[in-house]
Structure 1
Amino acid sequence: MSVDILERRYRALLRSYPADYRRERADELLDVLVTDEAGGRRWPEPRQAIALVRGGLRVRAGSAANRPAVHLLWQGVQLAALAVLALGVLIAADDTVEAFQYGGLDAPIAVLKDLGPNLILSLAALVALVLGRQRIAIGLVVAAIGVPTAVSQYLYLNGMPQWWAPVVATPLVIAGQWRPRDVPLVERGNAVLVTAGVVALHLVPLGGLRMVDPASRALAVAAAVVAAGVFLWFATADQRLLIAAAPTFALTTLHELMVGGDVVGQTLPFLAVGVALVICAVVLTRRRLARV
């Protein structure tokens, strides 16, 4: 009975690998992992569990593909388009809710006119990308730039990040149509998880780093360090995360530049993070290819 439980838990860990890889090699891996020497053990060894998860991330990033660098680049671009749109939708939804909370109920038509078209079209483009409807997504992401601007100048004149989201995403979505035939679309579940991870990185309370209260600042620093550590642990195995996250930091940078914000305090840090992620992706990819 304990062997069956152990095997089931190893199978759960093997879900970090792509479905086609599991179909071909899951039984072979389980024969190695679940042996007679396992005895009454009911849980995988921590070192094996970590190795399996990291191995699955590497395979998803293309380590088992014929052209790993090409696989990594093009799937990273697909995920970057998803992440940028998802972040734009999150910001747009938050601003819409906030607008209704602070007086928007007195003029709901004006709020919907200023914020609604961008939110609806960006969300539709995001859903189309998740479903793999690339051509529909291209039309929707272009519409998410033009239609809201034609209906209301509010987002454009204020350089809001949700206005920049489809602008940044458009070349990424179009580039996805040019991917080589041997590079498949990212699995839907994996795409959702990666996108959620990148968006979560932006939810870290970085504003707390400027607080005067030492306790609040310490908590903000701790949260930022933990979030960055977790993200980089996954990203060192799956560099697609770095490619996906890099353009998301352009949204805040472009907003601050357009409204003439604090370049040193606001723009440069976000720009530096985006550039650093790209550099890390290049360095880690070159190191991985050198070991192949």
Structure 2
Amino acid sequence: MEDFAGMSVDILERRYRALLRAYPADYRRERADELLEVLVADETGGRRWPEPRQAIALVRGGLRVRGGSAAERPAAVLVWQGVQLAALAVLALGVLVALDDMEEAFRFGGLDAPLLVLKDLGLNLVLSAAALVALWLRRQRLAIGLAVVAIAGQTAVSQYLYLNGLPQWWAPVVALPLMIAGLWRPGDVPRVDRGNAALVTAGVLALHLVPIDGLHNVDLMSRVLAVAAAVGAATVFLWFATADQRLLIAAAPTFALTTLHEVMVGSESISQTLPFLAVGVVLVICAVVLTRRRQARV
């Protein structure tokens, strides 16, 4: 029985260690053992899985620490890391839209004129993707240069994206000032680690993949499913974002791309996209307010 109990404790401890990966590596090195002692203290009941309440608390605690709650200047971490994550998210969204447009162009007749498709869409896609990778690798100045070339080079080769004000043309335009601002990041604010940056970017992109467009053209059941998916995605995102407000900063500028497209082409549907821009502004305000309230409680 003692061997069985000891084995259960070892399994439970490994699973708690897996949950503790929600915390940054430096934080784990300093406090993981202390936290584990508390979590598995006097555990003799043969339990092999963490309690759901504790698991949720650990994940949210890790998100808060990543968001700067344990830093000396939480607001500075929020702003500067949020700006870096926002630039990544905007570039990633632009690349995603560009890939989708290129696939659609080839699918609907582009194979008859592949060079024309590449001329109109290719340079922007390649350079925006390169800027995204450079920024993720922390080569910020290289990423800025690639974004500039993505804007000017694509427009010089073909004005198709510019004249139509497409979101993938706007992506490096919006990301550029964010990346430039990041050059003035204070020395006491660490950079976002790459794994965390990839997860945050993926989370923001997931919001934009939820099917919410064209609901008036589909049957009632499809509308209900689309609305349920949108509400579910927003709920999950906000659950994470209330713990790590950097997500709000990262998501905010991505909502501007569609609005800028509608403004540039003078579309009649601009009134439908302005609320998305308003959402972006509200996200930034909420991030700042939540961080200040957290500082006040500390």
TM-score by length of 1: 0.98
2:92, 2:201 within 8 Å by CA — same for their partners in 1? yes
Q: Show the 5 A alignment for 1:128-277.
A: 128-211=134-217, 213-263=219-269, 265-277=271-283
- Quick one: which amino acid aligns to residue 126 of structure 1? L
> Is residue 116 of structure 2 the alignment partner of residue 110 of structure 1?
yes
1:256–1:266: 8 Å Cα contact kept in structure 2? no
**Contact 2:87–2:179 (CA<8 Å) still a contact in 1?**
yes
In 1, the alpha carbon distance for the partners of 2:51 and 2:69 equals: 24
Q: Secondary structure at the match of 2:243?
A: coil
Tell me if 1:286 matches 2:295: no
Counterparts of 1:223 and 1:171, CA distance in 2: 33
CA distance in 2, matches of 1:205, 1:232: 18
Aligned residues: 292
Structure 2 unmatched ranges of 5 or more: 1-6
Q: Corresponding residue for 1:31?
A: 37
Q: How many angstroms does 1:220 deviate by?
A: 1.0
What are structure 1's unaligned runs of at least 5 residues? none
The percentage of aligned residue pairs carrying the same residue is: 82
Q: Secondary structure of 1:39's match?
A: coil
Counterpart amino acid of residue 186 in structure 2 = P
Q: CA deviation at 1:212?
A: 5.1
Q: For 2:230 and 2:14, locate their aligned partners in 1 and report how far apart those are by CA, in whole Å.
A: 35
Quick one: distance in 1 between partners of 2:44 and 2:263? 59
**C-alpha displacement of 1:53:** 0.3
| Conserved 8 A contact 2:262-2:270 | no
Amino acid at match of 1:165: A
Q: What amino acid is aligned across from residue 4 of structure 1 in structure 2?
A: D
Is 1:79 the equivalent of 2:85? yes
In the TM superposition, residue 39 of structure 1 has moved relative to its aligned partner by: 1.9
Aligned mates of 2:52, 2:176 — CA distance in 1: 42
Pairwise CA distance, 1:146: 0.6
* Separation in 1, partners of 2:30, 2:216: 52
Q: Distance in 1 between matches of 2:48 and 2:120?
A: 57
Give, as a single letter, the amino acid of the residue that structure 1 aligns with 2:88.
L
In 2, Cα distance between equivalents of 1:282 and 1:271: 17
**1:268–1:218 CA distance, 2 compared to 1 (3 A):** same
User: Could you list the per-position Cα deviations for residues 120-161 of structure 1 after superposition, in whole angstroms to 9, with x for gaps in the alignment?
Assistant: 000000000111111111111111111000000000000000
Does the 8 A contact of 1:257 with 1:263 survive in 2?
A: no
In structure 2, the CA distance between the partners of 1:185 and 1:277, relative to structure 1 (3 Å rule), is same
Quick check: 1:211–1:217 contact (8 Å CA) kept in 2?
no
Distance in 1 between residues matched to 2:247 and 2:218, nearest whole Å? 33
Query: Following TM superposition, by how much is the alpha carbon of 1:272 offset from its aligned partner in structure 2, in angstroms?
Result: 1.9
Is contact 1:121-1:143 (8 Å) kept?
Answer: yes
RMSD: 1.1
2:9 is aligned with 1:3: yes
